[in-house]
Chains A and B, each alone.
Chain A
């Protein structure tokens, strides 16, 4: 029998609720076992593993090139970012960093940020859905659809692109797409304002999400939360800034990173640590607003990348048009015992790959550090004492992708 508690004269009994793995708002096959007292959540324990596909073991038995399609299926909403992160890790292992043409690097940055926009559109839209607003979701999907069309034209795929490979791209970059991307980015500016009017500053939405699921900065750091989860709590950590990869250091120097604050307390602008989209309170609304703000931030970075592409010399353009993969196909041989660890700021947090060479075409060990997995751990802590409706809002604000949690 469930233990009973007595509040005043009313005897209440705990209620064990199994939420998922088939539930509309657990964002996949997450199962949360919830102990409730009426509408109050006493404890919510996430159970993962329903989508476990032995990614790491499969990767160790494939050539390093053949691992790329597996990475697509981890964070399937940000497949391009996974491809790029894995490719950068593999290039580091193989010692190819210097071989990569400048155009390829710029295009990878562009793809990274475009993918971030697509991923955050999904996150922002489904977060509206989680709190009951259906229309913003479809508005976000309208724009995401255009992005997917762009990706389709680039890679031939709409979701699992497998476009970026260690050494270059699967297909040469279609230069004609630059114009379409720019047109989308120009068109997208007003749409961000629309989302903010419709959802972000909607009174009911703010009431539903602010002050809910507060994640203190130290707890976020203890649990290894990264990405918007961490920045929503006011911790200034963004790998694009701290350890710039690709061309982020140039974007940083050009001042494309914009500073905006959400929440009821303004951080001290003199604080040099605070330089980018930050939430302050660490509640669901802050985390949501970090993502909504990054839409605009990424849009600017994409435009800056397009400008860089335009400024490239003809020699650079030609160098970039040739994929390194073709020539280097037989050289996917990492020295035995060689290690490489590379991490990138994915839309959901820090994605890292740890590779160990084996002297063969496949790696001895492939380990992925998935941001969603670490972010999800904190669910039990931040949902204690919330209501059942809040639990859904909290799960939505963590923005998990189960493909990445379970791998």
Chain B
């Protein structure tokens, strides 16, 4: 994967890493050592940044956030004891899980049982390699990045199938069969939504897709044409199903299957599944942020131009290392903010909705999401074929008009929904302030 990097670098645009290395070292050193330096820099990003941050800090924070979000939705406080507002609770839990006895059931297939969680986690982690973090920051900007994500995403299924089968437990088997059914089905609408984005961007490379969304917020693919928000919703539903998050948490449905595929797992092996789930949450949210919500773009025209310009070859002028680093810091923050928002929505849904049944899961996928995603794909390609620039030349905003209308329409929809949403929880709030518990004023008359 990393050896592909040097070949992947194109002279006109180039990969981010390449530019960063060019800025960091002297030209003559670069000319001599580029084939070594570029993979080394990628490896350094993975080892110094992604592994520590995404592998340890991210799940720690995500698990804490999940517990806090659920607690506050359920009028509880959640963890409060370990650290300020319980922020160290995850570490305490991790220590507990590490210290637990490692149990492998007698009837289990030991080799598969041991290797299953590892493959699951590895499959999820490999996906991090092609996720852009900033204008220069991407471990491996493969020219088949999106395809790579779709392909590697299936490895997770393999690991879970292995461990579910190896457990030799009927609940695990049930969970595993459900998981295989669900994940294999939902990969199709997910793939079609990837294809739609690819058709708009003209590339499978993640950085290329992000760069295509350069400019103001209506250049993001989610607002590119009237159908893209719907494609984004399909992508989001499919990604929830891929992630086994509620309402699609059938494979580990607690009330039905005890714990589903990981019923027999305990201690550290269980926590590996847990870790994989939370990293997968980040991965799908980051994919959504990158291919629909502009990736490291802020959605503010001049600022985006600066971020793009920091990439040397793009704007034409050479830029300094400081500028490049600043752009990357902004980029990382923006990607993380967008991904975290999507993760929050995942949590929000999980703690609001009941679980749907297996036949409803399949109905939703095969009868609704799959045909809809194909129709939206064809329609959004057709929209791109229409010569809007010529049609709108004489109108205000010229060729930007269609995108501006799409953006205005959908953002006003979101605004109306938010206004309604806000009003719904303002009323009970006022009421509970007025009617203090235990203090009555109104007399009851029969």
Binding site for B on A (CB under 8 A): 15, 17-18, 23-25, 38-39, 128-135, 138-139, 142, 146, 179-180, 182-184, 186-187, 190, 194, 198-199, 202, 204-205, 207-208, 254, 303-304, 306-307, 387-390, 392
Top 10 nearest A-B pairs (CB, nearest first) are A132-B355, A138-B74, A133-B354, A25-B255, A131-B354, A183-B438, A132-B354, A183-B440, A389-B357, A205-B354
Question: Is A25 a contact partner of B352 (Cβ separation < 8 A)?
Answer: no
Partner of B358, one of A133, A194, A304, A389: A389
Residues A17 and B170 in contact in the complex (CB < 8 Å), given A135-B73, A389-B357: yes
In this complex, which of B76, B249, B357 has the most chain A Cβ atoms within 10 angstroms of its Cβ?
A: B357
Q: Is the CB of A389 within 8 A of B444?
A: no
Residues of A within 8 Å of B352, CB to CB, are 133, 135, 198
Bound Cα distance from A194 to B440, whole angstroms: 21
B74 and A139 contact, CB distance less than 8 A? yes
**Closest-CB distance, B237 to chain A (whole angstroms):** 13
Q: How far is the CA of A179 from the CA of B440 in the complex (A)?
A: 7
B169-185 interface with A by 8 A CB criterion: 170, 174, 177-178
Minimum CB–CB distance from B226 to chain A (whole Å) comes to 25
What are 7 A-B interface contacts by the 8 Å CB criterion?
A17-B174, A133-B353, A135-B351, A138-B75, A204-B354, A204-B355, A204-B356
Q: What residues of chain A lie closer than 8 Å to B29, measured between beta carbons?
A: none
B255 — which chain A residues lie within 8 A by C-beta? 24-25, 129-132, 392
Question: In the assembled complex, which residues on chain B have CB atoms less than 8 Å from the CB atom of A129?
Answer: 255
Check B445–A307 contact: CB distance below 8 A.
yes
Assembled-state Cα–Cα distance A265/B170 (Å): 41
| Overall SS of chain B's interface | loop
Does B359 count as interface, using CB distance less than 8 angstroms? yes
Q: Which residues of B contact A24 (CB under 8 A)?
A: 254-255, 258
Which residues of chain A come closer than 8 Å to B390, judged between CB atoms? none
- Interface pair A304/B446, CB less than 8 Å apart: yes
Given contacts A182-B444, A389-B358, contact A204 B75 (CB under 8 A): no
Interface residues contributed by chain B, number (CB under 8 Å): 40
- Contact, CB under 8 Å: A131 / B355: yes
State whether B249 touches A39 (Cβ < 8 A). no
In the docked arrangement, what's the CA distance between A133 and B439, Å? 32
Q: Is the CB of B70 within 8 A of A134?
A: yes
| Contact in complex: A194, B428 (CB < 8 Å) | yes
Of A17, A187, A207, most B-chain CB atoms within 10 Å:
A187
Residues of B within 8 A of A134 (CB): 70, 74, 351
Chain A CB within 8 A of B132 CB? no
Write the chain B residue with the least CB distance to A390.
B357
| Whole-angstrom distance between the Cβ of B252 and the nearest chain A Cβ | 11
User: With a CB–CB cut-off of 8 A, which chain A residues contact B446?
Assistant: 254, 304, 307
In the assembled complex, how far is the CB of residue A16 from the closest CB belonging to chain B, in whole angstroms?
8
Q: Which single residue of chain A is at the shortest CB-CB distance from B355?
A: A132
The reply to whether A186 and B435 contact each other, CB–CB distance below 8 Å, is: yes
Additional A-B contact list (11), CB under 8 Å, known A135-B352, A138-B76, A389-B256: A38-B177, A39-B359, A132-B247, A132-B249, A133-B354, A135-B351, A182-B440, A186-B440, A204-B353, A307-B445, A387-B358
Q: Does A128 contact B354, Cβ atoms closer than 8 Å?
A: yes
A138 to B73, CA, bound (A): 9
B75-A208 in contact (CB<8A):
no
Residues of A within 8 A of B178 (CB): 39
Interfacial chain A residues near B360, Cβ < 8 Å = 207-208
- B322 neighbours in A (Cβ, 8 Å): none
Which residue of A38, A128, A142, A307 contacts B75 across the interface (Cβ within 8 Å)? A142
Q: What distance in Å separates the Cβ of A42 from its nearest Cβ neighbour in chain B?
A: 15
B276 at the interface (CB under 8 A from A): no
Q: Given the complex, which residues of B lie within 8 Å of A135, measured CB to CB?
A: 70, 73-74, 351-352
Whether B440 and A208, one on each chain, are in contact in the complex, defined by CB atoms closer than 8 angstroms, is no
What CA separation (Å) do A46 and B342 show in the bound complex?
43
Separation of A15 and B169 alpha carbons in the complex (Å): 12
> Is residue B437 contacting chain A, with contact meaning CB distance below 8 A?
yes
Interface positions, chain B 327-371, Cβ under 8 Å from A, are 351-360
